[in-house]
Amino acid sequence: MIITVDLSNPKPTYLQIVEGVRRAIATGALKPGDRLPTIRDVAVQARVNRNTVSRAYLELEHQGLVRPRQGSGVYVTDDGPTLEREERIRLLKRLTDDLVVEAFHHRIPTEEVVQLLQESAAELGKETES
């Protein structure tokens, strides 16, 4: 699994790593039981501090997507996110609020945003079929 980080992106680096792992899980590139690359390997590959990767892995653990095993590494959970549905909806609502604000600032009509969401969902669906 290759995690890419764009240092010119204003989004915090650890969140870029979180999104990369989440996407890999969503598309099936990482499956339940798969071991994530070591913190050191990701830090070297992405050219970031190990603490940044550690923070990303901790965030993924809080989201219920991965679990560390003492002395063995970090693994994708078998049962998916352990967060309650209401909590996942709350997190998604926060992301959609951010999206709406960005669209507003860029003067992109709601209809175009909805179309972009549909296209992204369709693309993700194609990736999971592969």
Per residue in 22-45, pLDDT (tens digit) is 888 877 889 999 999 999 999 999
Q: Which of 47, 57, 68, 61 lies closest to 14 in space, CA to CA?
A: 57
Could you identify the residue written with the tokens 């969401």? 117
Number of CB atoms found within 10 A of residue 19's CB? 13
Could you identify the residue written with the tokens 């798969």? 34
Low-confidence ranges of the chain (pLDDT < 70): 79-84, 87, 128, 130
Q: The whole model's pTM is what? A: 0.70
